[in-house]
Structure formats: structure tokens, C-alpha cells
């Protein structure tokens, strides 16, 4: 039996936690560059949110149940809560770090999906890696 359903469930937890963090930063950002960061965070959280359902559906395709209770998703996540700063650059740096953790999880799931010969899941994960690499680039560029 592959570890793929377990890894996808953990990914679902991390992506859900990341989504809420980005959305929370979108709500609470302050400062001189408020408008630009408010918009960047919105773009990121909308994209991340759009990936939650497909992750859960990929778990179901493997004939497993997708976790859905918030406390379960939080327990599955390796991302831990952070203090919410209100300064845009501090938020972007925190999101860059958290995004890096999500990227590592995505890469691990990608390898597991390939090893399990689950090419459809691997293709979906590859697309998610590409998007999170884009967010890494944009977050890093916004902190300079």
C-alpha cells in the first residue's frame, strides 16, 4: 500500500492552514504598501483555495476518505500557527517561509505519486509546485 493517501491528507492539512494564514494577512495588512500587498495576498489565497478541493478529490480517487474537520486538518499539518504581524514585509517573509514548507511537501507527494504510478495525481501536484514556486518568487521579490 502506498503512502500517497496519507501524504495527500497531510498536504491537505498544510494547504488549508496556509490558505487561512494568507487570507488572514489579506484582512490585516497595514502600511504604506497596503494596496499592493492586499491584492497580492488575495491572488495567492484564491489560488491556494482553488487547490483544496482537488487535493481532497485525489484522496477519494485512491478510495480513501478525505479529512474535513478543522481540528483534524490542523493536526495533519506540519505548518504551525504564527503571530500575525501587520507590516506587509513581515507578512510576506512569513508567507515565504510557510510557502517553502508547502513546496517541500508538494515535492515529496510528487515523488510518491510517481512511485505509485499515479500519473494524474503527479501531474496535478506538478502544477501546484509550479504555482507555489511562482508565489515564492513574488513573495521573495516583494521583501527586497
Per-residue pLDDT of 30-68, as tens digits, reads 998 999 999 999 999 999 999 999 999 999 999 999 999
Instruction: Return the pLDDT at 1.
Output: 44
CATH number at residue 57: 1.20.1260.10
Across residues 9-28, what is the average pLDDT? 96
Using the CB atoms, write b or e for 2-37: b if 16+ within 10 Å.
eebbbbbbbbbbbbbbbbbbbbebbeebeeeeeeeb
Split into its structural domains, the chain has a count of: 1
Q: Cell 484522496 sits at which residue?
A: 59
- The per-residue pLDDT for 86 is 82
Closest to 20 measured CA to CA, from 44, 56, 54: 44
CB atoms within 10 A of CB 71: 8
Alpha-helical (H) ranges within 29-118 are 34-61, 70-76, 88-115
pTM, entire model? 0.95
The pLDDT, as a whole number, for residue 82 is 82
Q: How far apart are CA 58 and CA 4, in angstroms?
A: 10
Condensed to tens digits (0 to 9), the pLDDT of residues 76-134 reads 999 988 877 788 999 999 999 999 999 999 999 999 999 999 999 999 999 999 999 99
Instruction: Enter the C-alpha cell of residue 111.
Output: 515523488
Q: Which domain holds residue 105?
A: 4-142
Amino acid at each position: 500500500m502506498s503512502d500517497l493517501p496519507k501524504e495527500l491528507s497531510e498536504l491537505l492539512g498544510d494547504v488549508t492552514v496556509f490558505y487561512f494564514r494568507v487570507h488572514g494577512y489579506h484582512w490585516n495588512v497595514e502600511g504604506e504598501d497596503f494596496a499592493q500587498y492586499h491584492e497580492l495576498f488575495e491572488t495567492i489565497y484564491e489560488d491556494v483555495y482553488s487547490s483544496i478541493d482537488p487535493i481532497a478529490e485525489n484522496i477519494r480517487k485512491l478510495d480513501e476518505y478525505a479529512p474535513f474537520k478543522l481540528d483534524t486538518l490542523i493536526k495533519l499539518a506540519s505548518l504551525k500557527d504564527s503571530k500575525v504581524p501587520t507590516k506587509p514585509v513581515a507578512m510576506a517573509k512569513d508567507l515565504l517561509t510557510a510557502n517553502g514548507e508547502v513546496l517541500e511537501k508538494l515535492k515529496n507527494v510528487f515523488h510518491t505519486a510517481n512511485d505509485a504510478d499515479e500519473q494524474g495525481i503527479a501531474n496535478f501536484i506538478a502544477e501546484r509546485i509550479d504555482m507555489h514556486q511562482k508565489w515564492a518568487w513574488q513573495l521573495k521579490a516583494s521583501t527586497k
